[in-house]
Amino acid sequence: MQLSLKQNRVALGASARRTAVAVRTPVRLCKWDRVENKTGVLLYSFGALTAVWLASTIVSAVNTLPLVPKLFELVGLTYTSWFAYRYLLFQETRDELVRDVEELKQKITGGNLK
């Protein structure tokens, strides 16, 4: 019996008869294998999960206070209304928003992302 791996394909051969079976390697597994600093990635992931848990706990505690949830809803509704009026209502301000987002993407990525 012969077993050979080539480009994510496994070929099993028994005497003169060959059968090719396609094996799909999960993309996540391939990407994880290419990560050089696995410890750092795991630590950052754990830290991010801890921060989300802590933020959830704080928001739940604040949510139990009287009038605070309604105040947060009012602030959120007001900001959403202002944002829609400022950036989404007119064509020239939508274009300005797109330019600002593109500029921010270039600052973050160094201009390598298209």
pLDDT in tens, 70-83: 999 999 999 999 99
* Band (6; pLDDT cuts 50, 70, 90): very low
C-beta of residue 13 within 8 angstroms of C-beta of residue 1? yes
**Model pLDDT, residue 110:** 83
73 and 97 belong to one structural domain? yes
At 18, is the secondary structure helix, strand, or coil? strand
If pLDDT is split at 50, 70 and 90, which confidence band does 106 have?
very high
Distance of alpha carbon 90 from its chain centroid, rounded?
30
Looking at the chain, the whole-number percentage of residues with pLDDT higher than 70 is: 72
Domain that holds residue 47: 36-64
Q: Which band of pLDDT confidence, cut at 50, 70 and 90, is reported for residue 5?
A: very low
pLDDT at 19: 60
Note whether 75 and 60 are same-domain residues.
no
Q: Are residues 71 and 52 in the same domain?
A: no
111 and 85 in a common domain = yes
54 and 82 share a domain? Answer: no
Q: Residue 80 corresponds to which tokens in the numbers above?
A: 């959403």
Does 7 share its domain with 50? no
- 18 and 40 assigned to the same domain: no
> Once rounded to an integer, what is the mean pLDDT over residues 49-53?
98
Does 75 lie in the same domain as 103? yes
Q: What angle do CA 58, 61, 62 make, to 5 degrees?
A: 85
Q: Is 72 in the same domain as 99? A: yes
How many domains, in total, are found in the chain? 3
Check whether residue 87 and residue 99 sit in a common domain.
yes
78 or 26, greater pLDDT: 78
Q: Which two tokens stand for residue 55?
A: 């933020």
Answer with the residue of higher pLDDT: 94 or 3: 94
78 with 113, same domain?
A: yes
Residues 50 and 18 in one domain: no
Supply the pLDDT for residue 28. Answer: 67
Mean pLDDT across 24-50: 84
